[in-house]
Amino acid sequence: MDPEPNQTGQSARPAPTKARAIIDGLGGAENILEIEPCITRLRTEVRDSTLVNEAVLKSAGVHGVSRRGAIVQVIVGPEADILAQDIEDQLATEEDQF
């Protein structure tokens, strides 16, 4: 289900579970080298692109996935900035646990 826009027209903050599902779909935290938002996409660099699971990403509600070697673009819509921050926060938390 897509988040409802707030009063400024921006999408409401997606559930942290969506960020977690995207991490899992990208092959797990240890597989993600870099992630950055770009308008409606999450541009990511992964260690091993064979670990990327498009079915998991699509079940998380992403609109599409584009791959070129180790670069994976996850099309998420206008919530890209918020999702990127949620993912970075979860990755940092996981790093702190090790």
* Rounded-to-integer distance, Cα 75 and Cα 44, Å: 11
> What is the average pLDDT across 26-32?
96
- Inter-residue contact 23 to 29 (CB < 8 Å): yes
- Inter-residue contact 83 to 18 (CB < 8 Å): yes
Domain boundary assignment for the chain: 16-97
CATH class of the domain comprising 16-97 = alpha beta
**What share of the chain has pLDDT > 90, as a percent?**
76
Helix (H) or strand (E) holding 24, with range, is helix 16-25
> What is the average pLDDT across 27-34?
96
What is residue 6's predicted lDDT score, i.e. its pLDDT?
46
Distance of CA 59 to the CA centre of its chain: 12
Among 15, 38, 40, CA closest to 90:
15
Question: Strand, helix or coil at 81?
Answer: helix
**Options 33, 38, 71, 92, the catalytic residue:** 38
When pLDDT is cut at 50, 70 and 90, the band that residue 4 belongs to is very low
For 46-86, how does the pLDDT look when each residue is reduced to its tens digit (9 = 90+)?
999 999 999 999 999 999 999 999 999 999 999 999 999 99
38 is known as an active-site residue:
yes
pTM of the model: 0.80
